[in-house]
A and B are shown apart, each in its own frame.
Chain A
Amino acid sequence: MQNAKDTFYLTLRNRLAIVNPARTMILRSVTRPGILVEDAEAFTAQPQLDAFTLRWTGLSADLHLPSILAQMTCEIRYTTAGTQANAGLDRGRALEKMDYELLRLLYPYSAQKMNCTQNPAVSMSTLVFWSEPDFSPAVTDHDRLSRIAKVTVFAFQEPSES
């Protein structure tokens, strides 16, 4: 299941670099596309602005198939305070831009599963596939706007992963 999570993140990260090359952040001294896995980074008291944060929550497994089918819920969280040039008054537009970017990142809804613990990553036998996003209402916190989009990610557990 970890390979599926890694593949999902790296797929979205690589697509973001194409969809919006300007959406970058500096994290741990590295400039990289503005997307991160929450449980693979250090704790921060405040959410990273103008970046997508992946939080893995739900997990269920279908055991009645030749291979175990894992279903994992990924919450994609994003927050913006707008831009300095517009004194934050464009935060609604900035959130809408991120909504649209996310739709583009998620399509197509599948990718070849990779074992990313090796360098270079090794292609595996099955696909990772996921649902369309389920967008929650935008939440206002003072001058910040946030949203959570939930995606269900599916992956077959391969024999080499056990």
Chain B
Amino acid sequence: MADLSTQNPCGVAQRVATALMRAGGGTTACLQMPPAPGDAADTGQIGVDAPGFLSLPLSPAVFRKARATLQDGKLPRYELLVSADAVIAQVAQLKLSSAQALFAQASGVVVAGKLFLIEAVSSSENQGTAYLYRLLLQEAAGEWSM
């Protein structure tokens, strides 16, 4: 049976999440996004041209080591908690359909000058609206400073 009770979303969960991110040592993470328009040349598809990724800042965010046990020979995994307010702002700016579309286009995330690969994305919701995004990251093998 459907829940027909009246619920008026007022954004309190988003504001609390943003405040907690900020108070919990909030940092800035930068999504690596392809430029628009992209490189349509053949050389752009065979690894010759530099991709020219753009840095898209997401803040506040909290970065921490994931609970998963470290395994021999495997790169460590981390998780990034991002305020939904930050994500919504970038989704609107890029005129994308959803946060999932934003993360699907990203080739990675740079935190504190280090590149991480996105393994999975999930969100926490309140009254049907996301207030927090959780990205599971794996350290990139390349030791580039970004």
Chain B's nearest CB lies how many Å from the CB of A70?
17
Tell whether, in the assembled complex, residue A30 and residue B107 are in contact, meaning their CB atoms are under 8 Å apart: no
Provided the pairs A28-B51, A43-B108, A45-B120 are in contact, do residues A119 and B41 lie with their beta carbons within 8 angstroms?
yes
**Chain A, 67-85, CB within 8 A of any chain B CB:** none
Tell whether, in the assembled complex, residue B38 and residue A116 are in contact, meaning their CB atoms are under 8 Å apart: no
Which one, B37, B42, B119, contacts A119 given CB within 8 A? B42
Tell whether, in the assembled complex, residue B51 and residue A117 are in contact, meaning their CB atoms are under 8 Å apart: no
Which of the four size classes fits the interface of chain B? 20 to 34
* Alpha-carbon distance A40/B51, docked complex (angstroms): 10
The reply on B110 being an interface residue by CB < 8 A is no
Which of the four size classes fits the interface of chain A? 20 to 34
What are the residues of chain A within 8 A of B38 when measuring CB–CB?
27-30
Tell whether, in the assembled complex, residue A117 and residue B48 are in contact, meaning their CB atoms are under 8 Å apart: yes
Main secondary structure of the interface of B (DSSP, over half): loop
What are the residues of chain A within 8 A of B140 when measuring CB–CB?
43
* Alpha-carbon distance A70/B130, docked complex (angstroms): 53
The reply on A144 being an interface residue by CB < 8 A is no
Which one, B34, B45, B117, B119, contacts A40 given CB within 8 A? B45
Tell whether, in the assembled complex, residue B34 and residue A121 are in contact, meaning their CB atoms are under 8 Å apart: no
Which one, A30, A45, A116, A119, contacts B118 given CB within 8 A? A45
* Alpha-carbon distance A30/B117, docked complex (angstroms): 21
Tell whether, in the assembled complex, residue A28 and residue B117 are in contact, meaning their CB atoms are under 8 Å apart: no
The reply on B70 being an interface residue by CB < 8 A is no
Tell whether, in the assembled complex, residue A32 and residue B40 are in contact, meaning their CB atoms are under 8 Å apart: yes
What are the residues of chain B within 8 A of A29 when measuring CB–CB?
34-38, 105
What are the residues of chain A within 8 A of B46 when measuring CB–CB?
5-6, 9-10, 37, 40, 116
A sample of 21 cross-chain residue pairs with beta-carbon separation below 8 angstroms, ordered by A number, consists of A9-B45, A9-B46, A10-B46, A28-B38, A28-B51, A28-B105, A29-B38, A32-B45, A37-B46, A37-B47, A40-B45, A42-B51, A42-B107, A42-B108, A43-B117, A43-B140, A45-B120, A116-B46, A117-B48, A119-B41, A119-B42
The 8 closest A-B pairs by CB, nearest first: A29-B38, A42-B107, A40-B47, A28-B34, A30-B38, A29-B36, A28-B38, A29-B34
- Residues of A that sit less than 8 Å from B by CB: 5-6, 9-10, 13, 27-30, 32, 36-37, 39-40, 42-43, 45, 116-117, 119, 121
